[in-house]
């Protein structure tokens, strides 16, 4: 089993719904985004176009973050997910500098919220799950995947541009999509990380 994601750039409308869904699914605090959408343009008027590139942890087959982690806190799991063990992480952030995609986040606090007057009831309920001084990132919503549900970003995508599944299962939609799209790309292949997030 190797979980992976296929992102259809021809469907992504750059709305960042996934970025915000990720926030409440994973209860991340101010300034922390485990995923984001980069908005750019290309071409000259009037042949110009706008583009959107969703970025998240690529759950690489050869993850540079795991390679540089001095204490094996970041590891590639059997199911293909790259995970971080908060009990091991010493917070050196070597993995953050090693990640070619800049999709890791450092937990600087779990008691600072969005508002000056202290944490809201919502913030009190969710921020505590994050261990200060450790590094976090997209988990492919392992808590949802365990229940047989898609990651929050995939489920919420208004354009249905995101697809999640087992890259080892020939019947899975991600495998079919990759078969139909032999030109599927990964990000920064030159980094040698072998991402499992594909762009079509």
Contact positions with another protein (CB under 8 A) in 2-21: 10-11, 13-17, 19-21
Sort strands 197-199 and 104-106 into parallel, antiparallel or unpaired.
Answer: unpaired
Rule CB under 8 A: say whether 166 interacts with another protein: no
Q: Which is nearer to another protein, 111 or 168 (CB)?
A: 111
Residue among 56, 59, 61, 67 that touches another protein (CB under 8 A) = 67
Which of 80, 60, 66, 23 has the alpha carbon at shortest distance from 198?
A: 60
Length of the chain in terms of residues written: 200
Give min distance, CB of 186 to another protein, in A.
13
Cβ atoms 135, 104 nearer than 8 A:
yes
Q: What mask, x for binding another protein by CB under 8 A, covers residues 72 to 101?
A: xx-------------xxxxxxxx-xxx-xx
Cβ atoms 17, 158 nearer than 8 A:
yes
Footprint (CB under 8 A) of another protein, residues 129-158: 131-135, 149-150, 152, 155-158
Residue among 61, 79, 166, 177 that touches another protein (CB under 8 A) = 177
Distances (CA, A) of 2 to 81, 138, 162: 7, 16, 17
């Amino acid at each position: 089993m190797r979980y992976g994601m296929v992102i259809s750039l021809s469907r992504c409308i750059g709305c960042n719904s996934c970025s915000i869904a990720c926030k409440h699914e994973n209860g991340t605090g101010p300034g922390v985004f485990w995923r984001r959408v980069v908005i750019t343009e290309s071409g000259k008027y009037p042949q110009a176009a706008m583009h959107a590139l969703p970025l998240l942890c690529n759950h690489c087959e050869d993850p540079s973050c795991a390679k540089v982690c001095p204490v094996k806190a970041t590891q590639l799991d059997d199911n293909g997910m790259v995970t971080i063990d908060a009990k091991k992480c010493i917070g050196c952030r070597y993995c953050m500098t090693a990640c070619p995609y800049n999709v890791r986040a450092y937990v600087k606090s779990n008691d600072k919220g969005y508002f000056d007057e202290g944490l809201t009831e919502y913030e009190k309920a969710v921020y505590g799950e994050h261990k200060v001084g450790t590094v976090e990132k997209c988990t492919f919503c392992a808590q949802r995947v365990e229940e047989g549900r898609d990651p929050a970003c995939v489920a919420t995508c208004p354009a249905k541009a995101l697809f999640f599944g087992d890259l080892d299962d020939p019947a899975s939609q991600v495998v079919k999509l990759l078969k139909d799209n032999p030109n599927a790309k990964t990000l920064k292949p030159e980094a040698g990380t072998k991402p499992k997030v594909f762009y079509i």
